[in-house]
Chains A and B, each alone.
Chain A
Amino acid sequence: SAVISQKPSRDICQRGTSLTIQCQVDSQVTMMFWYRQQPGQSLTLIATANQGSEATYESGFVIDKFPISRPNLTFSTLTVSNMSPEDSSIYLCSVEQGANTEAFFGQGTRLTVV
């Protein structure tokens, strides 16, 4: 198993600003992902965080808006840039020890943009 520390747990931000979310894992993991979840909705994959290289983004998500870092096998950050109210959502990091294995999730970051 993996224990994930994600922070902040919540934040209220002004439009036009940026927020960086951190995800720290207690062990080295192969796969790290970032998801967005609107209240009452499913999880939408934003990107796969690749260690030592640029993240792989899903359709509809771009690096300029959601820059991701993954400097090592236990840590990743997601930045939500130039925020607007439409970015209000829950952001979750998840990790998997191997492709398509059990996913462990962070507690999530509830973001409200005003």
Chain B
Amino acid sequence: GQQVMQIPQYQHVQEGEDFTTYCNSSTTLSNIQWYKQRPGGHPVFLIQLVKSGEVKKQKRLTFQFGEAKKNSSLHITATQTTDVGTYFCAGGEGFKTIFGAGTRLFVKA
């Protein structure tokens, strides 16, 4: 079945530094979604990318979908303490959504 790999597992940054997490799939994805889970919370949808090479921005967050639709990245510019949490990518497999392992972001003030 489809595998969605995500790196790094953890990232510690100083507030104001940038952060990037990468997602790779073993198969071509129809779309990719990104979620954020705060400590003690549940995953919350951030965005969905559908088109090859698509780039979307949400304030300080930039999401990219690779040309081959097998990889994606999330980049946060000038992190803030409110960015802490775990970021998951998720790819569709048939009717199912398969989640990556997640990248846990720690931000030091």
Enumerate B34-54 residues with CB–CB distance to A below 8 Å: 35, 42-45, 48
Task: Determine whether the beta carbon of B43 is less than 8 Å from that of A103.
Answer: yes
Query: In the complex, what residues of B have CB within 8 A of residue A100's CB?
Result: 30-31, 33, 92, 95, 97
Query: In the complex, what residues of A have CB within 8 A of residue B99's CB?
Result: 42-43, 45
Query: In the complex, what residues of A have CB within 8 A of residue B70's CB?
Result: none
Query: In the complex, what residues of A have CB within 8 A of residue B102's CB?
Result: 41-42
Q: How far is the CA of A107 from the CA of B102 in the complex (A)?
A: 18
Return the CB mask of A74-102 against B: 1 if under 8 Å, else 0: 00000000000000000010101001111
Which of B35, B48, B94, B101 meets A99, CB within 8 Å? B94
Query: In the complex, what residues of A have CB within 8 A of residue B104's CB?
Result: 40
Task: Determine whether the beta carbon of B100 is less than 8 Å from that of A42.
Answer: yes
Query: In the complex, what residues of A have CB within 8 A of residue B94's CB?
Result: 99
Query: In the complex, what residues of A have CB within 8 A of residue B97's CB?
Result: 33, 45, 94, 96, 100, 103
Range for the number of chain A residues in contact with chain B: 20 to 34
Task: Determine whether the beta carbon of A103 is less than 8 Å from that of B45.
Answer: yes
Smallest CB–CB gap between B21 and chain A, Å? 13
Query: In the complex, what residues of A have CB within 8 A of residue B74's CB?
Result: none
Which of A33, A41, A102 meets B96, CB within 8 Å? A33
Can you name the residue of chain A whose Cβ is closest to the Cβ of B46?
Answer: A102
Task: Determine whether the beta carbon of A48 is less than 8 Å from that of B42.
Answer: no
> CB of B63 within 8 A of chain A?
no
Q: How far is the CA of A102 from the CA of B48 in the complex (A)?
A: 7
Query: In the complex, what residues of B have CB within 8 A of residue A23's CB?
Result: none
Q: How far is the CA of A101 from the CA of B49 in the complex (A)?
A: 10
Which of A48, A102, A105, A108 meets B95, CB within 8 Å? A48
Q: How far is the CA of A106 from the CA of B44 in the complex (A)?
A: 10
- What are the 4 A-B residue pairs with the smallest beta carbon separation, nearest first? A100-B92, A105-B42, A43-B99, A99-B95
Listed A/B pairs (17) with beta-carbon separation below 8 Å: A33-B96, A33-B97, A41-B101, A45-B96, A48-B96, A96-B97, A99-B95, A100-B31, A100-B33, A100-B92, A102-B33, A103-B35, A103-B43, A103-B45, A103-B90, A105-B43, A106-B42
